[in-house]
Structure formats: C-alpha cells, structure tokens
C-alpha cells in the first residue's frame, strides 16, 4: 500500500482550466488554496486533481459537503481523455452567472 507522500506524488493537486468530459482519501480542506484560485475565474471549469475512480467520487462527495452552503460552487467528476483515471472539476459562479444558468445549466 502506498504511503500518503507516494499517493500525493502519484495524484498531485493541479489547476487546469478545462471543461469536464461527459461521460485517495484526503481532507477536503487541503483544496482550500486551489479553490481560492478557482474563485478568481468565475464561470470557468478547472481540473484540480486526477485520481482513481473511487478516490475521485469520494473526493467529490467531501468537497460538495464542504461547499454545500454556497450554491455558486459546482463539483464534478469526469473521465480524463486518453486515460482510465478520473478527474475532479470545480467551478465558481457569480450571482449573475447563477441567474443566467437558472434556466438549465
């Protein structure tokens, strides 16, 4: 079994501005710094981490729980192109963007 340091090396936290495609246990607070960066680019999807399928869905659940009091946040899991792994995608929306998408984003 991999150590925590090996796990972080294998699945580093990264910030990549891209839409999620169709189709590692950690505290959600470890993403606070990256989320602050995402908040500076409202409306833009960012891939923040690539990981195993199970890890990605567990992380999405923890992030969604952490962000549940602010409807401006969206958290999704998407398949990484040309890989079998999944990625965590997040975006922050302004009040104007929220009202625009109320019709069905």
Q: Indicate whether 78 belongs to any domain.
A: yes
pLDDT (average), residues 59-69 = 92
Q: Indicate whether 72 belongs to any domain.
A: yes
**pLDDT digits 0-9 by tens, 13-62:** 889 898 876 544 456 778 999 999 999 999 999 999 999 999 999 999 99
pLDDT (average), residues 55-73 = 93
The angle formed by the CA atoms of residues 41, 44 and 50, to the nearest 5 degrees, is 105
Q: Indicate whether 4 belongs to any domain.
A: no
For 2-15, give the DSSP string. Answer: --HHHHHHHS-EEE
Q: Indicate whether 67 belongs to any domain.
A: yes
| pTM beyond 0.85 | no
**pLDDT digits 0-9 by tens, 74-94:** 999 999 887 889 999 999 999
pLDDT at 19: 83
- What the block records as the tokens of 65 is 């729980």
Contact 56, 75 (CB under 8 A): no
pLDDT at 101: 80
Domain span including residue 79: 10-100
Q: Any idea which residue has 């470890």 for tokens?
A: 30
User: Domain tally for the chain?
Assistant: 1
């Amino acid at each position: 079994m991999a150590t925590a340091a090996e796990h972080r090396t294998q699945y580093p936290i990264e910030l990549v501005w891209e839409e999620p495609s169709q189709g590692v246990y950690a505290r959600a607070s470890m993403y606070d710094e990256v989320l602050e960066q995402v908040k500076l680019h409202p409306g833009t999807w960012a891939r923040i981490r690539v990981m195993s399928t199970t890890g990605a869905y567990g992380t999405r659940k923890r992030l969604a729980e952490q962000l549940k009091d602010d409807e401006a946040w969206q958290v999704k899991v998407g398949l990484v192109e040309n890989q079998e792994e999944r990625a965590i995608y997040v975006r922050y929306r302004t009040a104007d963007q929220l009202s625009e998408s109320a019709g069905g984003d």
